Amino acid sequence: MGFRYKKINERKIMCEKNYVIRAKITFLRKYLQFQNSSENINFIFLDETWVYKNGSQVRKWVNENDKRMNDIKITSEGERFTILHAGYKGGFLPNCGLLFSSKNNDRDYHKTMNGEIFLDWVKTKLVPDLDKINGKCVVVMDNAPYHSVLLEKPISKFSNKTSISAFLQKHGIYFSNELSKKELWNLAEPYVQNSSNKKYVVDEFLNSKGYEVLRLPPYHCQYNPIEMVWGYCKTFYNKNIPNSKFTGSEKVLNVWQESLSKITSDMWANYIKHTEQLIIDDWKKYMGNMDIVNVPPLIIGFENDSASDSDTDMPSENDEEYVE
């Protein structure tokens, strides 16, 4: 979850990993800079979630002394459906809803979404709706693998010498043909591990259309108000799906659309207000009253601290880095 143990005065305490702190400060600064700019900024929040055909009833309160309650069998959840949507202070974007049946019932919905489906959704549903919004749009999303398909195929220390040499040549990094593979990798590694050099397919496409992309820091979904929207919608869905007069996939679609209709623009505005207060509070927690416009470089000493979680694309850490 982005934490590690650190020994202080012979005592171990739990603290956030350095790469998470860096990503968090960067996100907080950029969000607040957009918020305080003179432009009319619209933050667009997107995310995926899931529902089950028969609703989720994996647990319920029972009285163990009441045999009648213990005999009650929980209905199978049934087929799982993956959902993708986006919204902003004005409510859900009207044509951005996507709901499709998952091929397996693994509870990790990330395994049914992929970069191709997501990019197609961005091109055919998200961008046409963004084009209708007045003002500048900033798309806020997390670092899920299907959001983070790289524009350029990455190399690693396991790549062959020819691939590493081609990478160095493409990025204008001088090298001698007499160098060994290990020496070539030593030249390429700093560039590869610098996250600012990574180009994502989705980000580049949205940028080409005139839209900004703001990545959430790893493990910090509380900065995305759509998480609270999902909570409300799924509670409504699970409560009402058993009583639906429809059957099959039509039942799922109708009850889910009804749950979305319950979320008003005022509710969206309140959820966004709540998350923005968290952002302001966390900025003050980390940076005090420092001006968000003129943030001086902050030097943080690092131990080797790598990000291995599948929901982030952050690099391995060097001994010392700057947070800008």
In DSSP notation, 180-204 reads -HHHHHHHHHHHHH-GGG--BHHHH
DSSP lists the bridge partners of residue 300 as 321
Residue 173 included in any domain: no
Per-residue pLDDT at 235: 95
Residue 287 included in any domain: yes
Asked if the model's pLDDT at residue 20 lies above 50, the reply is: yes
Residue 32 included in any domain: yes
Per-residue pLDDT at 255: 96
Counted domains in the chain: 1
Q: Determine the average pLDDT of the residues in 39-46.
A: 96
Residue 45 included in any domain: yes
Pick the range with the lowest mean pLDDT from 68-82, 88-102, 127-141: 68-82
Of 6 and 269, the structure prediction assigns the larger pLDDT to 269
For residue 67, give every residue at least 6 positions away whose Cβ sits within 8 Å of its Cβ, in sequence order, or none: none
For residue 132, give every residue at least 6 positions away whose Cβ sits within 8 Å of its Cβ, in sequence order, or none: none
Of 4 and 168, the structure prediction assigns the larger pLDDT to 168
Q: What are 170-202's pLDDT values in tens digits?
A: 989 999 999 999 999 999 998 888 767 789 999
Using the structure block, give the residue that is written with the tokens 């639906």: 244
Q: Determine the average pLDDT of the residues in 156-168.
A: 93
Looking at every residue in the chain, the average pLDDT score rounds to 84
Share of the chain above pLDDT 90, in %: 61
Residue 232: which CATH number? 3.30.420.10
- What pTM value is reported for the model? 0.79
Q: What are 227-246's pLDDT values in tens digits?
A: 999 999 999 999 999 988 88
Asked if the model's pLDDT at residue 312 lies above 50, the reply is: no
Per-residue pLDDT at 297: 54
- 224 band by pLDDT with thresholds 50, 70 and 90: very high
- 30 band by pLDDT with thresholds 50, 70 and 90: very high
Per-residue pLDDT at 73: 52
State the burial class of residue 108 (Cβ atoms within 10 Å of its Cβ: 0-12, 13-18, 19+).
exposed
Asked if the model's pLDDT at residue 103 lies above 70, the reply is: no
Per-residue pLDDT at 6: 67
Q: Are 4 and 15 in contact (CB under 8 A)?
A: yes
Residue 107 included in any domain: yes
Residue 174 included in any domain: no
Asked if the model's pLDDT at residue 313 lies above 50, the reply is: no
Residue 84 included in any domain: yes
Owning domain of residue 213: 17-151+199-323
Residue 229 included in any domain: yes
Q: Report how far residue 313's alpha carbon sits from residue 218's, in angstroms, rounded to the nearest whole number.
A: 9
